[in-house]
């Protein structure tokens, strides 16, 4: 069988303010108690994995979980700022209702062109793809044939998954990423990738 590198790609646990849809972006929001519990549950789920390295966004909602899970494997997580969530600019920390109310034209423009629209002082999906995918490719190359943990965000994970299946960025919200979910992607030496588990 073709050797492959396996990435266990998880989304961070539940965060404060989860009950009001908002764009946290690169704001460093705290985990809820349940969000911390989700990481402990993921640690149990991954007991039989042979994880030899971990890469995580450097935001605390990810590094906290990376620390919890990596204890089980005796490894130190490596924080990579390139794995941060999309920078949503002047909308950071705002609820969707607030944005729709105060920025109706821009809200609609983003819905109409999810890939290219850039919130003032923020990024668009192409910007995020350009910083995230090279890191994923780098760690797959560095750890050929190994099993890795990557702790990321809803938007970042969707971009990684779309890239793995060769789907366009416009399909961003055709993929669900709930708090504390697990995805599994196998990367093969011939360049193929297979998503083995999605939003599990």
Domains of the chain with bracketed CATH:
9-51+60-146+155-197 (3.40.50.1240)
Residue with tokens 């979980």: 65
Give which of 149, 171, 165, 170 is closest to 198, Cα–Cα.
165
- Note the pLDDT of residue 1: 54
- Note the pLDDT of residue 3: 84
- Note the pLDDT of residue 181: 98
Spatial contact of 2 and 188, defined as CB atoms under 8 Å apart: yes
Q: Provide the 8-state DSSP code for 116.
A: T
pLDDT tens figures, 125-137: 999 999 999 999 9
Under-50 pLDDT residues of the chain: none
Q: How many CB atoms sit inside 10 A of residue 10's CB? A: 29
Distance CA 200, CA 42 (A): 10
- Note the pLDDT of residue 2: 59
Spatial contact of 54 and 66, defined as CB atoms under 8 Å apart: yes
**Torsion, CA 38, CA 86, CA 60, CA 183, rounded to 10:** 30
């Amino acid at each position: 069988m073709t050797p492959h590198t396996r990435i266990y790609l998880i989304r961070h646990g539940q965060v404060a303010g989860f009950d009001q849809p908002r764009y946290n972006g690169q704001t460093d929001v705290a985990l809820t108690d349940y969000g911390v519990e989700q990481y402990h549950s993921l640690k149990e789920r991954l007991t039989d994995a042979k994880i030899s390295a971990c890469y995580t966004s450097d935001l605390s909602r990810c590094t906290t979980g990376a620390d919890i899970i990596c204890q089980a494997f005796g490894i130190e997580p490596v924080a990579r700022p390139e794995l941060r969530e999309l920078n949503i600019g002047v909308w950071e920390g705002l609820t969707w209702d607030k944005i729709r109310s105060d920025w109706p034209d821009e809200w609609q423009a983003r819905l109409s062109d999810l890939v290219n629209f850039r919130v003032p002082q923020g990024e668009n999906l192409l910007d995020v793809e350009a910083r995230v995918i090279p890191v994923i490719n780098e760690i797959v190359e560095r750890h050929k044939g190994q099993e890795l943990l990557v702790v990321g965000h809803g938007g970042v994970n969707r971009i990684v998954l779309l890239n793995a299946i060769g789907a366009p960025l416009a399909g961003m919200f055709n993929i669900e990423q709930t708090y504390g979910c697990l995805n599994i992607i196998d990367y093969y030496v011939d360049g193929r990738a297979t998503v083995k588990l999605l939003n599990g």
